[in-house]
Amino acid sequence: MFRIPVLLAICCVARLAAADSEWWSNASQHYIFVSNQPGRAYLKTVQRELEKAHRCYGIIFPMGNYRSEKGKVRIFATRQEYLDCVGKQYAWSGGLWNPNKNELSISPLDPKFPADIRRRQLHDTLFHEGFHQFVFTALSSRTPSPWFNEGCAQALESMDLEGRYWRIELAPWRINNARKHIGGIQLQKLLDMDYKEFYGSNVDANYSRAHSLMFYLLVGAPAEKRESYSEIPRKYYMAMHNHKDPVTATKLAFTGIDLSTLSKELVAFWSNDDRVAKASDNWTLKK
């Protein structure tokens, strides 16, 4: 999720302007950070994870010369300040990408959770929201289609470096969700959805189906050498660069693909424990 109403974003800026003197900044290769936290340790952790995520996205979706500016990241000192900025409707979140402000907001960690859970939550949040920021910047301030944007962000959030390779870990709840929703998938409808409909009354099913589709295209199809499917994410990304229109890019990415056959393939993949496990185990991406 990454949307924030414009009005709220403006209020947020005004509120922060009053406390300008407390804010300090720090830059890394691809990001500029601002924070009002007294210490630097948390910012350094966020910085390391986001740069790591950026390297992973850049391998899957090469940036070439597209990128011209560093991504902005704001790290709040208190949970309340974060919530005042993002709004009550995002009270469940630990970080949020806001394309209206061109800024990624990050909450401090909740001390009531054990350290390993906090680390995992932070990693997943930064890899998820970081993808929204990465692709928006790489596409010259354009938001791609929800099936691609939310699908990739969810599929990529569990990636991490193990030595020289990227690995992926699929949480059991993701598999359960995929099985719950994949049977009712109407692929054309999902591909045609705008954000209003995607975040509407069937939001949970839409998230799950977008994840199921993108995990298969990014991880399952390459592991099983199904090139016609594994080429789709890169085709969409390049078409967004060339045509700058999500509807055209979706059409071009799926040219020559029979959606009814792909739907059956998705149902078969997610119903088969061995295929799901092997795809995750065999998938690697070199650093």
The residues of the shown chain that bind Zn ion, judged by CB under 5 A, are: 1, 150, 153
Q: Which is nearer to Zn ion, 4 or 223 (CB)?
A: 4
CB-hemisphere CA count at 13 Å for 231? 11
What is the CA angle 152-196-132, rounded to 5? 30
- Count other C-beta atoms under 10 Å from residue 226's C-beta: 16
Q: Which is nearer to Zn ion, 49 or 150 (CB)?
A: 150
Q: Which is nearer to Zn ion, 153 or 217 (CB)?
A: 153
Q: Which is nearer to Zn ion, 206 or 230 (CB)?
A: 206
Q: Which single residue brings its beta carbon nearest to Zn ion?
A: 153
For residue 204, the SS3 value is helix
Q: Which is nearer to Zn ion, 97 or 166 (CB)?
A: 97
The sign one gets for the Cα dihedral 62, 241, 159, 41 is positive
CA distance 199 to 110: 26
CA distance 136 to 102: 9
Shortest CB 128 distance to Zn ion, Å:
6
Q: Which is nearer to Zn ion, 223 or 246 (CB)?
A: 246
Q: Which is nearer to Zn ion, 30 or 128 (CB)?
A: 128
Q: What is the CA radius of gyration of the chain?
A: 19
Shortest CB 154 distance to Zn ion, Å:
7
Structure tokens at 41: 């340790």
Q: At a CB cut-off of 8 Å and minimum separation 6, what does 175 contact?
A: 270, 276
CA distance 59 to 166: 10
Shortest CB 145 distance to Zn ion, Å:
13
List C-alpha distances in Å: 92 to 117, 124, 191.
15, 14, 27
Shortest CB 185 distance to Zn ion, Å:
19
Shortest CB 170 distance to Zn ion, Å:
18
Shortest CB 278 distance to Zn ion, Å:
27
Shortest CB 130 distance to Zn ion, Å:
10
- Count other C-beta atoms under 10 Å from residue 280's C-beta: 18
Q: Which of 151, 145, 134 is nearest to 52 (CA)?
A: 134
Residues facing 167 on adjacent strands: 160
